[in-house]
Chain A
C-alpha cells in the first residue's frame, strides 16, 4: 500500500509577474524542479528592439529581439495561499504541510485573505486594472512534486490585468543621466506553488519537499528574434532563472544563439530551455517532448473571487468577508519611482544614489532615520550611508536590519563630524569601532581614543611649523606653485597630531605660515642677510636651501665672497626663490 517513500511538506506562496510578449499566445513549459505557490503575473514587453544584438553587416537586416518575462514571486504572508500552513524560509523539509498541502483526498482549498490583498496591492502598484471578479482554474499535469495532479491558478480571468511599470536606467553618457523605460504588465495571477523535487542521482530517487517556500523569485524568460517590420519570430522559453544576473545572461545568450542559428540557415524550435549557470549557455530541455495539454478547467471548490470598491461595497457587509480595493489603495505605500524623485528633489542626491537607497531592503528607512536625527548635511548623510555603511554591510553580506550600527548611532557620529569635534578620518575610525558591536557610543569611543580635533590653535601652529621645518623640499614644492604639495603638508601635520586636527584649520595655518616662511637657519639667514642687504627676513634653518642658494652664486667648493644684490624681493622683502630652481 505504498508507504510514502517520498517525503512531503507544505506550500510557500509566491507571487509572480510575468512579462509575455504582447499578443503572442504562449504556453507554459512543463514543470521542472521547484516551483511554488504564488501570485503569478505576466507583463508584456514594450517592444522596441530591446537588444540589437549584432551590428548589421552590410546588406543585412538588423535583428530585433522580443523578450517577455513570467515572474513567479512568493507572497510575503504567514500562511499559504490555500491552506493554514505556515510559510517559513528554510524550514525543515515537509515540516509545514497541511492535509490540503499533501492533497489528502477530501481536502479543499481555502483562499488566504492576505494573499488576495497582496495581489490587489501589487496590481495597484503596477497600474493594473483590478478585476472585481476573478476565477480560479485547475491546470493538470502529472509530476511528483504536484501531489494533487493539478495546480490551482488563474488562467482565464486573473485578479489584475493591463498594467505598466515605468523605470529608469542609468545608461546615458553623463553621470546621473537616467533614460526612462516602460514595461507593460499583461496580468497578475494568484497561483499555488508546487513542491520541490530533490533528485538523488546516486540512489536514483527523488525526494519531495512540500514546504514550497524556497526562493523568493523565479523567472521564465520568453525570447524571440525577428527583423523589424516582419512578423515575430518563434519563441523559446528559458525556465527557472533565479537571479537577475542569470536572467540577463540567459537572455543575451539566447538572442545571440537564435540569431546565429537563423543566419546559418537553421530554425528556432518552440521549446523550453534551461540556463546552464557554469557554462553560461541555454540548453534544450528534451525531457518533455510530448505535447502538454494542461486540460484547464474551473476550480469548483473556490467560488469566484469578488472584490469591491467604495461604490460597489454592499451595505452592511462584514468587513472580514469583503476586500475593498479603495481601502487597499489607501494603504499603498509611496511607490519607489515617487520616492526616488522625492529623494532627488529633497536632498539633491544623484538619481543613481536614489536607486541604490531603494534597492537595498531597509536602506531608505535607515537613511531617513539618520537624516531625522542628525544636523549633518543630507549630502554628507547620503555619502556616509551609501559609501561607508553600505560598504561594511556588503563586505559582511549583512542585511540592513542586521547592522550593528543603528541610525541614531550613525546620526550621533555624523553630528560629531558636523560640529568639527572629530575629523572625517577619525569618524571613519569611530565607525569601525562601532561595527565591532561593543556597545559603545560614538562619544565614548572618541574620548577613549582621544580622537577629538585639537581646538588649541597655538599648539596646532607649532605642529605646522615643525612639519614645515622638517620637510623643506615639500615647502619648496609649494613655493614652486605645486598646489597639491600642500596636501602632503596637511597630511604630515595630521599624522603628527594623530589625526586629531581639523584639516581645514591646518590648511589655513599652513597657508599663512608658508607665506612668510623661507626655511633657513639663523646663521644662514645672517649670511643671506648680508648678501641680500637685509632683504631676507626669515630666520629658520635650511641647510639644503642655503647650500643650493650658495651653489648658484659661486662655483662649487669655492667659498662665497661677495654677492651682488641681484635677487628680486617681494613687497615684504622676501627673496623670491623660484629662479633658484634647477
Chain B
C-alpha cells in the first residue's frame, strides 16, 4: 500500500480497502523504521492520528473531503504550522511554535490530508545537499536500495558499509527522502533556486516548482521572497498536479499571488500525440561539468520526443552563464534583509548576554545562525551598502531581467517546453559532498535550476532512469509562466514513456527494522 501513488492510495481509501487510521499507522511505523534517514525533524504523530480519526469518520459518513482526505503528507520545516514547532533547521528558531498555518498547509489540512511531520533541510533552506542543518544531514533512501547496493557490490573499488551513504540534494532533502522512503505520499518543499527539483532528481521523484505567483507563500519562512515558491514532491506527475490543484490560487495574504482563476481540479489529460509540440534544448545548458551519463540521457530524451513526432530545436538562452552570479547577489541581498527580524527579541533563540541590546543582537545572531547563513547575510549587506547598491544589486536586477527575457524569447520563438538536465550528476556520497563548501556546492548544483526562479517560470524534474551506479537521474522541463498545466501534461507523457523503476527498499526495511524497532520516535507535543 505504501508504495502506491497518491492517486492509488486515494482510490483505496474511497473503496474502503484501507482506513485513514491504518494508513497513518503504517506510515508512522515506517517513519520509525527509517528514522536513521533523518528525513523528519518533528514527527507530528498525535496530530496525524487525530486527523486520521476525523478523516475516518468522514469516510464512514460518506462525507469525504476529496482526493486528499486521509492521505499522509509531510511538510518542509520552513512552513509555519500552527502549534507545531517550526525550526528551519536553525538554532535561531529552535523551540519556535508558530501560532498560524502557512496558507499551503492550511489548504492541505482543509482537504483532510494527514500531517505526518516536518521535514529536514539545510538551515533556512540555504544549501543544495540537506547537509547543513542543526539536526544533521539527510540520508538518501537510494543509498539503501537494492538497485544501488547491487551495483556497488559489482564494483571492486567501492567501500562497503554505511559510511558512504548518499546525500539527498537540497535543500528540501527531508521532504524528498520522506516521499522516496514511502513514509508519505506527497511532501511540500520550497524552491528558491532548485531546492525542490534538485533533491527530487537525486531521490527519483517528481519535483515540481509552480509558476511564481500561482501558489501562496504566506507562512513560508522566506529565503528570497522574489524567487521562493512552495514546491511539490510526489511519486508521479498526476499526484503533483492533484496537489497543485489544491494549492494554487490567489491568497489575500500574499499580494504576489495572481487573481486569475486557476482551473480546478487540475486533471491532466493524457497526451495521445506530441507531434504538435515543440521542445527546446537550450544549448548553454550543455556545460563541461555535466556528467556524460546525464548528457546522454538528455540527448536520448530529446530523441524520444523527436521520434514521436515532436519538433525538437536547439534554442539559446544567452545570459545563462551570468545567471548563477546574479542569483548569488540577489539571493544574499534578500537573505540579509529577511534574516534581520531574527534578533532574539520576540521569538526563537536569545543569548544570555544582556549588557546592551546591541550586544544581545550580536551574540544571539552569532549563536543562532550557522556559517552559511551568516556568510550570506554578510555578502548581502555588502551588496546593499549605499556605495555598492548600484554596482551589485541594481546590475544583478538588470541581468535578472535579461535572463527572464531569454526565456520569453525562447517561448516566443514557438517553443512550448524546454528540456534540460536537473543536476550535473547523480547523488554523491556525503563524504564526497562535504569536501566542498556550501557556497561552491550551491553554485554548482543550482546551475540548471536557479534561472527558472529568476524568471518565475514553472519547472518540473522528472526521474528518467538509473545511472550506472543504480542511482536516479532526473531531467527538467521548463514551461511558460502560468502554463503549469501544459508543462505537467508534457511531463506526464514523458513519465509514461520512460517508466522509471520503483525504488526497492525491502532489504532496507528488513535490515533496519531489527535495529530500529526499539527506538522511540520523536514526536511533538501539541501546544494549541
Contacts and interface: CB of A to CB of B under 8 A. Distances in A.
Interface stretch (A96-104, A224-232, A491-499): A96-104
B259 interface: yes
Interface of A: 1-2, 4, 6, 8, 99, 102-111, 138, 140, 142, 144, 147-150, 206, 208, 293, 295-297, 300-303, 321
Contacts of A295: 336-337, 381, 384-386, 389
A105 B339 CA distance: 9
Given A301-B225, A301-B256, A4 B345 contact: yes
A1 B222 contact: no
A2 B337 contact: no
Contact of A300 (B88, B225, B253): B225
Given A111-B255, A295-B381, A106 B341 contact: no
A138 B337 contact: yes
Interface in B349-404: 349-350, 357-358, 361, 364, 381, 384-386, 389, 393
B99 A99 contact: yes
Contact of A108 (B98, B255, B350): B255
Interface in B91-109: 93-96, 98-100, 102
Given A99-B99, A106-B218, A293-B385, A1 B334 contact: no
Given A106-B102, A110-B253, A296 B389 contact: yes
Contacts of A111: 255
Chain A to chain B: the 5 pairs with minimum beta-carbon distance, closest first: A149-B340, A2-B350, A1-B95, A295-B384, A300-B225
B217 interface: yes
Nearest to B225: A300
A83 to B, nearest CB: 10
B458 interface: no
Contacts of B381: 295
A322 to B, nearest CB: 12
Contact of B340 (A4, A106, A108, A148): A148
Contacts of B98: 104-106
A91 to B, nearest CB: 19
B180 interface: no
Interface of B: 79-80, 86, 88, 93-96, 98-100, 102, 217-222, 224-226, 252-256, 259, 333-334, 336-337, 339-350, 357-358, 361, 364, 381, 384-386, 389, 393
A147 B96 contact: no
B259 A147 contact: no
B255 A296 contact: no
Contacts of B79: 106
A102 B99 CA distance: 12
A108 B346 contact: no
A102 B348 CA distance: 13
Contacts of A138: 337
Contacts of B350: 1-2
26 contacts: A1-B350, A2-B349, A2-B350, A4-B345, A6-B345, A6-B346, A103-B346, A105-B88, A105-B221, A105-B341, A106-B98, A107-B218, A108-B218, A109-B255, A142-B361, A148-B340, A148-B341, A149-B343, A293-B386, A295-B337, A295-B385, A295-B389, A296-B384, A300-B224, A300-B256, A300-B334
Contacts of B93: 105
A140 B99 contact: no
B381 to A, nearest CB: 6
Given A105-B88, A321-B259, 18 more contacts: A2-B346, A2-B348, A6-B345, A104-B99, A105-B342, A106-B80, A106-B98, A106-B219, A107-B218, A107-B219, A149-B339, A149-B343, A296-B389, A297-B337, A297-B384, A300-B256, A303-B255, A303-B256
Nearest to B339: A149
A103 B341 contact: yes
A4 B218 contact: no
Contact of B345 (A147, A302, A321): A147
Contacts of A1: 94-96, 348-350
Nearest to B368: A2
B226 A108 contact: no
A489 B221 CA distance: 87
B99 to A, nearest CB: 7
Is the contact region of chain A dominated by helix, strand, or loop, or is it mixed?
loop
Nearest to A148: B341
Max chain A Cβ within 10 angstroms of own Cβ: one of B218, B339, B346: B346
Contact of A142 (B220, B334, B336, B340): B340
A2 B226 CA distance: 30
Contacts of B221: 105-106
Nearest to A1: B95
Contact of B393 (A102, A297, A321): A297
A140 B385 CA distance: 11
B100 A99 contact: yes
A158 B160 CA distance: 64
B94 A106 contact: no
Contacts of B389: 295-297
A302 B226 CA distance: 10
B344 to A, nearest CB: 5
Given A149-B341, A150-B337, A108 B99 contact: no
B340 A140 contact: yes
Nearest to B94: A1
A149 B333 CA distance: 14
Contacts of A208: 345
Given A2-B349, A295-B385, A301 B96 contact: no
A110 B333 CA distance: 22
Contacts of A6: 345-346
B525 to A, nearest CB: 15
Max chain B Cβ within 10 angstroms of own Cβ: one of A104, A105, A148, A296: A105
Nearest to B387: A293
Nearest to B88: A105
Contacts of A109: 255
Contacts of A296: 384, 389
Contacts of B337: 138, 140, 149-150, 295, 297
Contacts of A147: 341, 343, 345-346
B224 to A, nearest CB: 8
Contact of B252 (A8, A99, A110, A142): A110
Given A295-B381, A295-B385, A142 B99 contact: no
Contacts of A144: 345, 357
A297 B330 CA distance: 10
A281 B381 CA distance: 37
A102 B389 CA distance: 29
A105 B348 CA distance: 10
Given A142-B358, A149-B340, A108 B349 contact: no
A289 B375 CA distance: 26
Max chain A Cβ within 10 angstroms of own Cβ: one of B102, B253, B345, B361: B345
Nearest to A83: B253
B346 A8 contact: yes
B394 to A, nearest CB: 10
A108 B347 contact: no
